[in-house]
Amino acid sequence: MSEEAKHEEHEHHIVSPVVYVVILFALLVGTALTIWASYVDLGVWNPIIAIAIACTKATLVVLFFMHVKYSSKLTVLTVGAGVFMFLTLISMTLADYISRAWGSW
Amino acid sequence: MPDSPAVAHGVHEASGSSHAGEHPAYLRHHFESVEHQAGTTIFAMWLFLLTEVMFFGGLFTAYLIYRNWYYPAFVAGSHQLSIPLGGLNTLLLITSSFTMAMGVWCAETRRKSGLVLCLILTFILGLGFLGIKTIEYSEKIEKHHVPGFHYSLQSFLDPASDEAAKAAGDKPLPLDMARHTEVYFSLYFAMTGMHAVHMIIGIAILGFMIFRAQAGAYTTGHVTFVENFGLYWHFVDIVWIFLFPLLYLISRH
């Protein structure tokens, strides 16, 4: 086990160009999709779909272009902690703005 | 993955070092090994990117709050942006992220001319992005949509006089709401402006890297600099991936 862990830590993973081409294609499809969806009237779903597509694209970039999928646990934990921290801050801020004047309108 | 072999990089590349056979010249004395050094530098780069996430996150939060408060003004404001230009810029930036990722691969597999080509392509695509941004900004300046003393409310008080507003079918806004379009454009310029500053810094570093790559600096097994710059460049791409829908797309209806 320790031999295996050491092995993993000491190797630098080279991501294949094939993966990069596939991700580029997925990102371009995502861009086309989000532009197309913005012209269709989906009411309250328009922003939700746009943000969902953006999050998917960002995840693809982080995992493959930024190699997080192939990185050490330390890197994965660092990125995860950053995302979690950001989501916590933004949801607490928005919750405050939404509820501050609750009932007084 | 059989087609993407994992290699221990740099360990046996000590030919230029006075300690040939012990460790490569680029290994700093306070690190145990090349892998230790590379891992530490990449961890540090990610910590820097997290501070960037918090920095842009503040701007995004401000945008979300003000969009909820002054929704009609933000809708009218976003109708002034061109989806074709924004879409083209998204295309350029995503492609530049791809060429940068390929550049990292070229450095890892020690293809010097491939690396130089990838860096030059990334450089050109980045400049193209800024060129289109300049076209968009100059249109805003012409229409007096830059917040400040010369800000004009005409497109929002009288949408019939403005092509973009007319095409989007905008109704005239009451004066107090029309004034809040200035908040939209303040955030538009703050967010795209900060993003553009990051692009300019990135392009400057790319220019430096092209010369270093031609001298063979990154194809000797020591790829940390290219790899970390790649992380920065992809991060700037991610910021745009969120800016594009938030500023251009979500207020079309």
Q: How many CB pairs under 8 A join A and B?
A: 153
Residue-level pLDDT at B221: 83
With CA atoms as reference, report the closest residue to B54 among A66, A56, A63, A90: A90
Distance from C-alpha of A1 to C-alpha of A7, rounded to nearest angstrom: 10
CB B246 within 8 A of CB B60: yes
Residue-level pLDDT at A103: 76
Helix (H, G, I), strand (E, B) or coil at A13: strand
Q: Is A18 exposed, middle or buried (0-12, 13-18, 19+ CB in 10 A)?
A: exposed
Which of A4, A14, A73 to probe the B interface (max B CBs under 10 A)? Answer: A14
Distance from C-alpha of B31 to C-alpha of A103, rounded to nearest angstrom: 60
When CB atoms are compared, the residue of A11, A39, A57 closest to B6 is A11
DSSP string of B31-67, one letter each residue: SSSHHHHHHHHHHHHHHHHHHHHHHHHHHHHHHHHHH
Q: Is B205 exposed, middle or buried (0-12, 13-18, 19+ CB in 10 A)?
A: middle
According to DSSP, residue B196 is labeled H
Residue-level pLDDT at A3: 47
How many Cβ atoms are within 10 Å of B229's Cβ, its own excluded? 22
Confidence label for B18 from pLDDT (cuts 50, 70 and 90): very low
**E strand or H helix at B6, and its extent?**
strand B6-7
With CA atoms as reference, report the closest residue to A11 among B150, B33, B160, B218: B33
Cα pseudo-dihedral B218, B224, B227, B231, rounded to 10: -140
- Distance from the A2 Cα atom to the nearest Cα atom in chain B, whole angstroms: 17
When CB atoms are compared, the residue of A17, A71, A74 closest to B102 is A17
Residue-level pLDDT at B21: 55
pLDDT in tens, B112-130: 999 999 999 999 999 999 9
Three-point CA angle B200, A58, B48, nearest 5°? 55
How many Cβ atoms are within 10 Å of A48's Cβ, its own excluded? 12
Distance from C-alpha of B142 to C-alpha of B137, rounded to nearest angstrom: 9
Establish if A26 touches chain B: CB-CB under 8 angstroms. no
Which residues from chain A sit within 8 angstroms of residue B235, using beta carbons? Answer: 66
Distance from C-alpha of B173 to C-alpha of B107, rounded to nearest angstrom: 55
pLDDT in tens, chain A (105 residues): 444 444 444 467 899 999 999 999 999 999 999 999 999 988 889 999 999 999 999 999 999 999 999 999 999 999 999 999 999 999 999 999 888 888 776
Within the 36-95 window of chain A, which residues sit less than 8 Å (CB to CB) from chain B?
Answer: 37-39, 41-43, 46-47, 50-51, 53-54, 57-58, 61-62, 64-67, 71-72, 74-75, 78-79, 81-83, 85-86, 89-90, 93-94
**Amino acid letter, residue B25:** A
Give the mean pLDDT of B98-121. 96
**Amino acid letter, residue A59:** T
Note whether B57 contacts A78, CB cutoff 8 Å: no
Residue-level pLDDT at A8: 47
